[in-house]
């Protein structure tokens, strides 16, 4: 038996051990990163949705323990694996109210930041003349969420096949195969207060609905078929405690 035949199995075993260790260390590092983002800036103290009749405007509002929007995710350098932080208002609105086809799911208004990609092609949130570099600037989305056991947070944005002719999306959608829209609502953040200004006409003039308030870590996946395209990996805070949507528009 040659020396190479003696050493090769041990060498391969070592490589497998190192690779496995790297995967474990990578997962630990990711979990540490997710935990590190859970600051007081993501802890929700209160929330309300108010209707201003003289302006025909709905104001989605949340207050936090820390400073709204101060904590943002670190860049990963590409779309796959891109981290997304969000202040999310799950509602009892129907999917048709915000421009999607009729379907089951939780319609939620999400205020998000993600430095690795820009999914609001019609809007230049930082007003620098470049419409493709605003992902880290806090901006709005309508999404339809569904239960998903593949991710720790238990939810993901519902996806569809590109050839599905029944799918209806608003023209402001970011051209990703999931029920997401980029409506371009104004986001106003001051100290620990967040406001989103939503014209009632943009949600089919609905002024009576229930809602909740959530903060969460999400992540984009474009390579692993066993995980969703955009899943909720960590729920930092739920105002109601149980996502029961107990709050009503005032």
Is the domain of 8 the same as that of 117? no
Is the domain of 121 the same as that of 230? yes
Domains held by the chain: number: 2
Banded pLDDT at 126 (limits 50, 70, 90): confident
d(CA 106, CA 33): 28
Boundaries of domain holding 28: 1-36
Is the domain of 15 the same as that of 69? no
Average pLDDT over residues 212-229: 97
Q: What is the pLDDT of residue 128?
A: 86
Q: What is the pLDDT of residue 12?
A: 40
What digits encode the pLDDT tens for the residues 27-46? 556 688 899 999 999 999 99
Is the domain of 48 the same as that of 32? no
Is the domain of 23 the same as that of 134? no
Element (H, E) at 245: none
- Whether 217 contacts 83, CB under 8 Å: yes
Q: For the CA atoms of the chain, what is the radius of gyration?
A: 21
Is the domain of 93 the same as that of 54? yes
Is the domain of 94 the same as that of 155? yes
Element (H, E) at 230: strand 230-238
Is the domain of 26 the same as that of 120? no
What digits encode the pLDDT tens for the residues 157-169? 999 998 999 999 9
Q: C-alpha distances in angstroms, 227 versus 11, 156, 223, 231?
A: 33, 9, 9, 8
Q: Is the pLDDT of residue 2 over 60?
A: no
Q: What is the pLDDT of residue 29?
A: 63
d(CA 40, CA 53): 33
Is the domain of 21 the same as that of 46? no
What predicted TM-score, i.e. pTM, was given to this entire model? 0.88
Is the domain of 1 the same as that of 107? no
Residue 60 φ then ψ, to 5° = -85, 125
Q: Is the pLDDT of residue 213 over 90?
A: yes
Is the domain of 65 the same as that of 169? yes
Q: Which of 26-30, 43-47, 153-157, 195-199 has the lowest mean pLDDT?
A: 26-30
Q: C-alpha distances in angstroms, 216 versus 98, 139, 201?
A: 22, 15, 28
Is the domain of 147 the same as that of 127? yes
Mode of pairing for the β-strands spanning 186-190 and 106-113: unpaired
d(CA 192, CA 235): 19
């Amino acid at each position: 038996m040659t020396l190479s035949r003696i050493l090769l199995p041990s060498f391969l075993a070592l490589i497998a051990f190192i690779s496995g260790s790297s995967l474990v260390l990578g997962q630990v590092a990711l979990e540490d990163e997710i935990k590190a983002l859970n600051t007081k800036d993501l802890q929700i103290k209160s929330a309300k949705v108010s209707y201003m009749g003289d302006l025909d405007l709905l104001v989605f509002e949340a207050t936090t323990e820390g400073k709204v929007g101060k904590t943002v995710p670190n860049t990963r350098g590409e779309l796959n694996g891109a981290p997304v932080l969000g202040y999310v208002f799950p509602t009892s609105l129907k999917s048709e109210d915000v421009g999607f086809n009729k379907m089951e799911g939780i319609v939620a208004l999400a205020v998000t930041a993600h430095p690795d990609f820009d999914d609001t092609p019609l809007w230049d949130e930082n007003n620098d003349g470049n419409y493709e570099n605003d992902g880290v600037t806090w901006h709005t989305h309508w999404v339809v969420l569904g239960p998903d056991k593949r991710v720790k947070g238990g939810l993901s944005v519902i996806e569809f096949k590109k050839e599905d002719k029944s799918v209806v999306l608003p023209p402001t959608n970011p051209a990703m195969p999931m029920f997401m829209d980029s409506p371009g609502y104004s986001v106003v953040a001051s100290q620990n207060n967040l406001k989103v200004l939503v014209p009632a006409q943009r949600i089919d003039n609905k002024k009576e609905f229930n809602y909740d308030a959530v903060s969460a870590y999400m992540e984009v996946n474009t390579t692993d078929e066993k995980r969703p395209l955009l899943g909720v990996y960590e729920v930092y805070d739920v105002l109601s405690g149980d996502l029961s949507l107990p709050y009503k528009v005032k």
